[in-house]
């Protein structure tokens, strides 16, 4: 079934590419990563072309929960153990920059995407995680992060987090990119990339730089350490009462839910209960996961009517951070978001646009695609 987001927004009419062409920069993929890259390049005076096998935001960018969270999926203490405290803080600040970029772009381009800043709840699933959630809040509080603990819910509330309608955001951003000078071609599948050329089934594109932004499907074009992982969600008809106060991210990010302003409930995740099965590129729902999503829904809102069930394919990197930069082949990449494309990709689009243009940025080491 189509996601609720894609069901509500008709795609723009971008034609397929049927003849050879050239551009300053060729971008493969029109999800949030590719569209943000095109937007930032076009605003800088570069003329990019975007090639998309389906339509803008039809893959993971139109199938997620629409969260704008700071940080990675893990709590800050867990992230510190993985990356070291200095690097974890830099990652946190980068995602905060992503939030501010989204806020600025939505205002500048008058994008109607239901952007709201109600904060988020990070909810512990066990005693160990609860200890980490409290410690994370204490540590980030010293960095002027607005966070408070709710012991009764075993949760930390991060006041500056946001939510939006992801398909409306990405498709409106695509329109803004086109207005700034970008060209977008739907129904145009890239079959091969080299330094300076993209080949499709019907045409070739010559460009000064190539940026691959296909996330879960990266291995089809470049040797990137990205593996496809499936995520599933459901959505309901409007419920006439407040069930969830704000977006929630629970059990180390494996479970998540929110209630939209129109009263609809969204529930997703539970991938950890069938981890071996929730892999690959097939965008299909399964009874096992959907039953778990609905069981949680019934506990919170027995009266809700499920209207949408869907799946999307996420691109997981080897260390849960995106790959943003230049490969040894000379091809650039912006991919590997590990389920957090909305948290990173507006800002990684800005970052890779700067890198392609030869501008030095201090964050490039965080996301270097051939890092250890």
Mean pLDDT of 90-95: 98
Quote the CA–CA distance of 203 and 52 in Å, as a whole number.
13
Quote the CA–CA distance of 225 and 320 in Å, as a whole number.
11
Quote the CA–CA distance of 206 and 45 in Å, as a whole number.
18
Mean pLDDT of 295-318: 98
Q: Read off the pLDDT band of 213 (50, 70, 90).
A: very high
Hey, what domains does the chain have and what are their CATH numbers?
A: 4-63+166-225+319-365 (3.50.50.60), 117-161+227-315 (3.30.9.10)
Quote the CA–CA distance of 333 and 339 in Å, as a whole number.
17
Question: For the chain, what percent of residues have pLDDT higher than 90?
Answer: 99
335: which 2 tokens? 């991919």
Q: Mean pLDDT for the chain? A: 97
pTM as predicted: 0.98
Mean pLDDT of 175-203: 97
> What are the beta bridge partners of residue 207?
23
Q: Read off the pLDDT band of 267 (50, 70, 90).
A: very high
pLDDT exceeds 90 at position 1: no
Cα angle 27, 28, 29 (rounded to 5 degrees) comes to: 115
Mean pLDDT of 155-159: 98
Mean pLDDT of 236-256: 97
Tell me, rounded to whole angstroms, the distance of Cα 93 from its chain centroid. Answer: 17
pLDDT exceeds 90 at position 87: yes
pLDDT digits (tens, 9 = 90+) for 283-300: 999 999 999 999 999 999
Query: At how many degrees (to 10) do helices 32-43 and 341-356 cross?
Result: 40
Contact 115, 52 (CB under 8 A): no
Quote the CA–CA distance of 174 and 56 in Å, as a whole number.
8
Mean pLDDT of 268-272: 97
182: which 2 tokens? 């970008």
Contacts of 59 (CB under 8 A, 6+ apart): 31, 215, 216, 283, 312, 313
> What are the beta bridge partners of residue 204?
199
pLDDT, position 77 = 97
CA distances from 176 to 42, 54, 110, 155, 185 (A): 9, 19, 10, 38, 15
Quote the CA–CA distance of 329 and 317 in Å, as a whole number.
19
Mean pLDDT of 62-84: 97
Pairing mode of beta strands 48-51, 183-185? parallel
> What are the beta bridge partners of residue 325?
333
Nearest to 336 by CA among 238, 216, 188, 233: 216
Place of tokens 């919170």: 300
Quote the CA–CA distance of 272 and 335 in Å, as a whole number.
23
170: which 2 tokens? 């990405």
63: which 2 tokens? 């199938």
pLDDT digits (tens, 9 = 90+) for 321-362: 999 999 999 999 999 999 999 999 999 999 999 999 999 899
- In SS3 terms, the chain reads as CCCHHHHHCCCCCCCCCCCCEEEEEEEECCCHHHHHHHHHHHHCCCCEEEECCCCCCCCHHHCCCCEECCCCCCCHHHHHHHHCHHHHHHHHHHHHHHHHHHHHHHHHCCCCCCCECCCEEEECCCHHHHHHHHHHHHHHHCCCCCEEEEHHHCEEEECCCEECCHHHHHHHHHHHHHHCCCEEECCCCEEEEECCEEEECCCEEEEEEEEECCHHHHHHCCCCCCEEEEEEEEEECCCCCCCCCCCEEECCCCEEEEECCCCCEEEEECHHHHCCCCECCCCCCCHHHHHHHHHHHHHHCCCCCEEEEEEEEEEECCCCCCEEEECCCCCEEEECCCCCHHHHHHHHHHHHHHHHCCCCCHHHHCCCCCCC
Q: Read off the pLDDT band of 194 (50, 70, 90).
A: very high
pLDDT, position 123 = 98
pLDDT, position 171 = 98
Place of tokens 């500056």: 160
pLDDT exceeds 90 at position 7: yes
């Amino acid at each position: 079934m189509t996601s609720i987001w894609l069901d509500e927004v008709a795609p723009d009419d971008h034609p397929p590419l049927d003849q050879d062409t050239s551009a300053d920069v060729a971008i493969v993929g029109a999800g949030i990563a590719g569209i943000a890259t095109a937007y930032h390049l076009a605003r800088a005076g570069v003329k990019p072309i975007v090639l998309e096998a389906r339509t803008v935001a039809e893959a993971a960018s139109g199938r997620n929960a629409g969260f704008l969270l700071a940080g990675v999926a893990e709590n800050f203490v867990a992230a510190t153990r993985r990356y070291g405290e200095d690097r974890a803080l830099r990652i946190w600040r980068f995602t905060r920059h992503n939030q501010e970029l989204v806020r600025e772009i939505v205002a500048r381009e008058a994008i109607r995407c239901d952007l709201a800043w109600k904060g988020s709840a990070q909810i512990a699933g066990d005693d160990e995680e609860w200890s980490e959630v409290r410690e994370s809040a204490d540590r980030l509080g010293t960095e002027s992060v607005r966070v408070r603990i709710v012991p009764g819910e075993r949760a930390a509330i991060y006041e500056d987090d946001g939510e939006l309608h992801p398909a409306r955001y990405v498709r409106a951003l695509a329109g803004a990119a086109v207005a700034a000078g970008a060209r977008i071609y739907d129904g145009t599948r890239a079959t091969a990339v080299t330094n300076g050329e993209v080949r499709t089934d019907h045409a070739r594109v010559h460009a000064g730089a190539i940026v691959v932004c296909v996330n879960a499907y990266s291995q089809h074009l470049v040797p990137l350490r990205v593996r496809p992982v499936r995520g599933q969600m459901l959505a309901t008809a409007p419920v006439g009462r407040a069930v969830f106060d704000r977006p929630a991210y629970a059990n180390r990010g494996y479970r998540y839910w929110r209630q939209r302003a129109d009263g609809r409930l969204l529930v997703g995740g539970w991938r950890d209960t069938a981890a071996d099965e929730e892999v690959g590129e097939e965008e299909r729902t399964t009874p096992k996961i959907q039953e778990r999503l609905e069981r949680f829904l019934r506990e919170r809102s027995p009266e809700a009517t499920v209207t949408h069930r869907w799946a999307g394919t996420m691109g997981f990197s080897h260390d849960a951070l995106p790959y943003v930069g230049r490969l040894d082949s000379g091809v650039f990449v912006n991919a590997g978001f590990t389920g957090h494309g909305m948290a990173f990709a507006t800002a990684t689009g800005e970052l890779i646009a700067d890198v392609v243009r030869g501008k030095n940025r201090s964050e490039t080491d965080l996301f270097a695609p051939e890092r250890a």
